[in-house]
Chains A and B, each alone.
Chain A
Amino acid sequence: MDLPTIWFLLWGLLWAVYFVTDGFDLGIGTLLPFMGKSDTERRIMYDVMGPLWDGNEVWLITAGGVTFAAFPKTYAVMFSSLYTPLMLLLFALILRGVSFEFRSKVENPTWRKMWDGFAFLGSLVPALLLGVAFANIFKGIAIDGMGIYQGTLFTLLNPYGLLGGVFFLTFFLVHGSIWLAVKTEGDLHDRALKTAHGLWWVLLGAAVALILAGAFATRLYDNYLAHPALFLVLAFTVVCLLGVKFYLAKGRLWKAWFSSALTIVGATFYGIVGLYPNMLPSSIDPAYNVTVYNAASSPKTLTIMFVLAVIFTPVVLLYQFWAYRLFKAKVTEEDLTYDEA
């Protein structure tokens, strides 16, 4: 396997890990106004995300940074073409991050309501936009020979793109409500569980629709038909998705969450392997496609980055795992009484 291909797979993996980690934060944030019935419940929901969201969000920064470093042309074309959605995503993430830190610092209902609103929007908007953006990438973006975007925001809001948005949002909601159920007890736990059960069916519907629509709206299946072994990726994803429901029904919540995490990884790679060697197909003319090869950095940069990634990634995973273990206990009302800073 050549270096650009290795980096392409790592690129996909980074996005997948971002979706897995920040996915449950974004889901819980979106659930906040519906699930948190009292101030105490909402604070518990914040504290479920509190210790981890910041570290989770760095996977996005790293996915962005690695795109910049390994595929500068992809970075340039992707972010300037998806300008408006990306800026909205950033604004949403800003408001979300700040609301986590500021919300509980003042005992004033108006103050808290304001930040609750931002936490909700700041979670809902990224979940939707990430889905719309990636579905459009799978579908092909209106870029010309200079890598300049020829569409508008509304070009992105096509049926397949919107379906991608719904799929991502539902996925994060299911992923988030399982995590919330794992981390809470009592009434909140029960409601989170019920939500996960109910939304799973919506997710299944969206997944089936997306898989079918992919045959008409995208060229993802060209690779699958050329190498039928790739269908294993799709099969793996579907099995994991069924596993989520299976473990939920058995009350094995951790296993259900890991199934959900693996489904996210599978779903990301379902798109990634279909895309290869393209990174940003052009909907205007395939000659304008941004590919792994015409976007890659120099072999020297790719090699140095690879060595650094091999050294640092295990270290990062190790201490993030340690942090997750440190905060694996359920968050209860009692935990809210001590001052967090």
Chain B
Amino acid sequence: MMDVLMLSRLQFAAAAFYHFLFVPLTLGLSVMVALMETKYARTGDETYLRMTRFWGKVFLINFVMGIVTGITLEFQFGTNWSRYSEFMGDIFGSLLAIEALGFFFLESTMIGVWIFGWKKLSRKAHAFVMWLVAFASTGSAVWILTANSWMQHPVGYVIRNNRAELADFFAVASNPYAILMFFHVIAAAYLLSSFFVMGVSAYHLLRKKNLEFFTRSFRMALTFGLVVSVFLVIEGHYHAADLAHTQPAKLAAMESHWKTESNAPMYMLVWPDADNEGNSVEALPIPGFLSWMAFHDSKAEVKGLMDFPRDERPPVAPTFFSFKIMAFLGFYFVLLMVVGWLKRNRLTESPGYLKLMLYSMFLPYVAIELGWMVAEIGRQPWLVYGLMKTSDAVSHISVSQAAGTLIGFIVIYSLLACAAGYLLVRFIKAGPQPKTA
């Protein structure tokens, strides 16, 4: 029998993962569509207008799904995690309020203007509205990730009146964890978007339709994607290395590293075995590499899982495998981008590569969801690292309430997934509107 805690965790996980299926594409496409529309506004080139409208439609479907699923996330803190809200509201709540007041308003108001304002605004003003949408979406991401990072690495607070109270707003707003996380998430979102655009373009290029349109789209996304994929791998390294200081238990779980040691090796082949506090397979060591990765010093001491009490260790296997697969995919993406760059002038003559890009289109989705699993599962059993355990944060509600709404979420989200998927496939297959003479 499931308890309220488990049901609430499932519910929040479902809502967060689902939300994050749509948000990254929105973040990346808003910038790409703004770029396309700017080119149209400056040159009057009809192809850029058609690109704006085609990719804009894909963007809008994702946008609305991101909006409606984001609303539930905000309110779930109050409904299912009321003890968390009460304990952390002073800091966490203000970050959410700043996000809403400063950015979400701008984003939501301007998207309406963009959709319905084609005839009411000049070309340049209309393109500018898209930049405002892109700017505001990014701003929203900054504050949401700052709020999340505070749960990962709480700073600038004092415990007073049985709750965490704000001591230093600047420290909260400039949390180094948040800065690393923001760049990681935004780069991942841009990478996903460029893969999406390239995958769809590859589909049409393989069918030899709208060649100019999709070659331009492909190349634009390729340039974008090449830069961010390299950045993402390098930045990802620093993000992970930072954990050695901020969340050593998560880092140890990501590597399935059990014994605290200096000059710690990294094994190329590992199979974790948490029950026996070790690994059932551990082969092909690179001496000192884990120490070097964590501290940029091959002699440094890396804390192992056995140094943490059993009830303060994250679930090792999910954290470990999520991290390893995500990292592996990161390198795979760079490889695909480099190959694409070499083939950029003869895309239509490279059907093999185009097919590979079409099939690889969904891998960034896998990578970003795995990334969240590393971040969120790796932080367990803490909800706020070192301050509040997840099990102490859940609301006093009945099992039937939590179960009923979980079923509600599954039904509604499945319905929406089918509808959004149907619309996206329909639009994408139909391709861009023909040229208006």
Contacts and interface: CB of A to CB of B under 8 A. Distances in A.
Interface of A: 47, 50-55, 57-58, 60-62, 64-73, 75-80, 83-84, 86-87, 90-91, 93-95, 97-98, 100-102, 105-106, 146-149, 297-298, 300-301, 304-305, 308-309, 312-313, 316, 319-320, 323, 326-327, 338-341
B116 A47 contact: yes
Interface string B157-172: 0001101011101000
Contact of B115 (A50, A61, A65, A309): A50
A308 B98 contact: yes
Interface in B375-392: none
18 contacts: A51-B117, A54-B109, A60-B71, A61-B104, A68-B92, A75-B93, A79-B75, A80-B79, A80-B395, A101-B61, A149-B396, A297-B93, A304-B94, A308-B97, A319-B109, A326-B121, A341-B60, A341-B115
Interface of B: 53, 56-57, 60-61, 64-65, 67-69, 71-72, 74-75, 77-80, 82-83, 85-94, 96-102, 104-106, 108-113, 115-121, 160-161, 163, 165-167, 169, 395-397, 401, 404-405, 408, 412, 416, 419-420, 423, 426, 433
Contact of B112 (A55, A75, A338): A55
Given A53-B112, A69-B96, A298-B166, A97 B397 contact: no
Contact of A57 (B89, B108, B395): B108
Given A319-B109, A340-B115, A87 B165 contact: no
Given A47-B116, A320-B109, A86 B75 contact: yes
B71 A90 contact: yes
A94 B77 contact: no
Contacts of B118: 338, 340
Nearest to B119: A338
Contacts of A80: 78-80, 82, 395-397
B97 A66 contact: yes
A80 B4 CA distance: 13
Contacts of B79: 79-80, 83, 86-87
A51 B113 CA distance: 6
A65 B86 contact: no
A62 to B, nearest CB: 4
A118 B60 CA distance: 19
Given A69-B94, A323-B109, 19 more contacts: A58-B109, A64-B75, A65-B93, A65-B97, A65-B101, A68-B78, A68-B96, A70-B97, A75-B86, A76-B85, A83-B79, A102-B420, A301-B165, A308-B97, A312-B102, A327-B112, A327-B116, A338-B119, A341-B56
Nearest to A309: B101
Contact of B68 (A62, A69, A87, A93): A93
B105 A62 contact: yes
Interface residues of A, dominant DSSP = helix
Contacts of A52: 112
Nearest to B69: A94
Nearest to A47: B116
A98 B68 contact: yes
Given A54-B112, A93-B71, A94-B68, A72 B83 contact: no
Given A51-B116, A54-B109, A338-B118, A62 B397 contact: no
B273 to A, nearest CB: 40
A76 B82 contact: yes
B101 A316 contact: yes
A301 B166 CA distance: 6
B101 A308 contact: yes
Contacts of A91: 408, 412
A50 B109 CA distance: 11
Contacts of B166: 297-298, 300-301, 304
B10 to A, nearest CB: 15
A303 to B, nearest CB: 10
Contacts of B78: 64, 67-68, 75-76, 78-80, 86
Contacts of A90: 71-72, 75
Given A75-B78, A80-B396, A304-B169, A68 B93 contact: yes
What 7 A-B pairs come out closest when comparing CB atoms? A72-B89, A79-B78, A68-B93, A69-B93, A76-B82, A55-B109, A80-B82
A70 B101 CA distance: 14
A94 B412 contact: yes
Nearest to A55: B109
Contacts of B416: 94, 98
B163 A72 contact: yes
Nearest to B402: A83
A47 B80 CA distance: 36
A53 to B, nearest CB: 7
B100 A58 contact: yes
A72 B83 CA distance: 10
Contacts of A308: 97-98, 101-102
Given A68-B96, A148-B396, A51 B112 contact: yes
Given A70-B93, A320-B109, A341-B115, A106 B423 contact: yes
Contacts of A304: 94, 166, 169
A41 B419 CA distance: 24
Nearest to A316: B105
A53 B109 CA distance: 9
A98 B68 CA distance: 7
Q: Which of A50, A70, A301 has the most CB of B within 10 A?
A: A301
A316 B321 CA distance: 44
Contacts of A55: 105, 108-109, 112
A76 B104 contact: no
A54 B75 contact: no
A77 B82 contact: yes
B426 A298 contact: no
A192 B163 CA distance: 52
A247 B332 CA distance: 67
A242 to B, nearest CB: 33
A340 B116 contact: yes
A267 B342 CA distance: 67
B90 A301 contact: yes
Contacts of B57: 341
Contact of B94 (A84, A305, A323, A340): A305
Given A98-B65, A326-B120, A65 B163 contact: no
Nearest to A320: B109
Given A93-B68, A97-B68, A340-B115, A298 B165 contact: yes
Contacts of B86: 72-73, 75-76, 147
Contacts of A149: 396-397
B112 A98 contact: no
B113 A65 contact: no
